[in-house]
Structure 1
């Protein structure tokens, strides 16, 4: 049986976000505009203010095309996969670790004052899931489709249901 390599929870794999120059991949173009904006904010290049405005325009276009609400200043580590970015909403104070996978209609937000979710590396979030409040999601966790996560999820666990129940993940040893 062939071994499948698991993405790292610490080292971002930027090839997961790569987009060919004229390829129509709206979710990757949206991420590219966010990365460009953050890069130009930190740049001392004299053209940085102009390039930053261009990144804002690109972000606005791709936000409309994808139907996603991901603010420009969101802390997103590298290697994020958004196969279908439609309806994805991420709070600006949330942080997302490297090599995560987020499907459509996911909400990562707050439940009022108190903080936003902190998602560790290599977390898979199923379609329609809601992660709300100051929760911490551990490395290599899986959030099931339509789960409503209101409490912390430890490493290597999965959360399913409304409200989410945390269960250990089972691995086959073949």
Structure 2
């Protein structure tokens, strides 16, 4: 099955989800972690104005905007096949083909919260994956802050995150690096002084 041929979605209006306020994103990589796996109200649009109109219909007159430079210029044109960025899947990475045993579509099956999008250039596809990673980190930091604000405290400051993620079976080197995550990287400060 080939990807659907529809008008390119370039803006994502997130009314409810893992956001502090209604927000319009220009990247699915930014929006996906904020609307997947939770109760969310959101919609994709082909223009910023349509996204703003949607928010206005929901009585949000000044939504937060996270608009990346070059937004809307990533959809492949008829001159190139493009690149498929698999940000979350069996084996995240950049793929040149949709079909095939080791291509984009096969990376998405049986992966809850899979995230993939097609781009004009390899650089845009790589940037999408990095945006998605940052958005996932932002969502996790937001959840940690909410828990701390509610009075919860870490059980163990070594913060072994191995229970939070499924490891890519093809990447054994990264596992050891993630076990000792630094709280400074999460902007969490010690309240016991």
TM-score tier by shorter-chain length is under 0.3
TM-score when scaled to structure 2? 0.22
State TM-score, norm by structure 1: 0.23
Q: More helix per residue: 1 or 2?
A: 2
Structure with higher Rg: it is 2
Q: Which has the higher contact order (CA 8 A, sep 6+)?
A: 2
